[in-house]
Amino acid sequence: MGWLSRWLDRGNAHEPLLARLEDLPGLGRVRVAYVVDCMGAMCPRPQLLTMKILGQIDEGEVIEVVSDNPAAVESFPSLAETLGCVHLLTTRGDARWQIYLRKGLEMVH
């Protein structure tokens, strides 16, 4: 088993620490099941953390990835399909971005 597989397999399945409805521009109210906190993390850590959480949630659930790393943020839209998800939206706050991803490759309205 490679280091990436071992890293992704460690720990317990996530508990939805956050389950809130979020109004997303152009999408309406979306239930966010989990927030992946990538503040201060450099590539490829944000992508690896996101991959781990996507492996632990159900098809159709939405996660919010929070990052302050422009390179990581720029990679998510093109990386989404590889991660087995759909990039819904990226928004910019004061000192961070929020990236919304839905697990699964079909866009759900």
Taking only the tens place, the pLDDT of each residue in 9-28 is 544 444 445 678 999 999 99
DSSP string, 43-97: TTHHHHHHHHHHTTS-TT-EEEEEE--HHHHHHHHHHTTTTTEEEEEEEE-SS-E
Which pLDDT score is estimated for 105?
A: 82
Stretch 76-92: mean pLDDT, rounded?
93
pLDDT at 80 over 80: yes
CB atoms within 10 A of CB 105: 12
Q: Which two tokens stand for residue 68?
A: 């302050």
Stretch 61-74: mean pLDDT, rounded?
94
Which pLDDT score is estimated for 104?
A: 94
Please name every residue paired with 67 in a beta bridge, in sequence order, or none if there are none: 97
Q: Give the chain's mean pLDDT.
A: 85
pTM (2 decimals)? 0.81
Is 88 buried (19+), middle (13-18) or exposed (0-12) by CB count in 10 A? buried
Total number of residues shown for the chain: 109
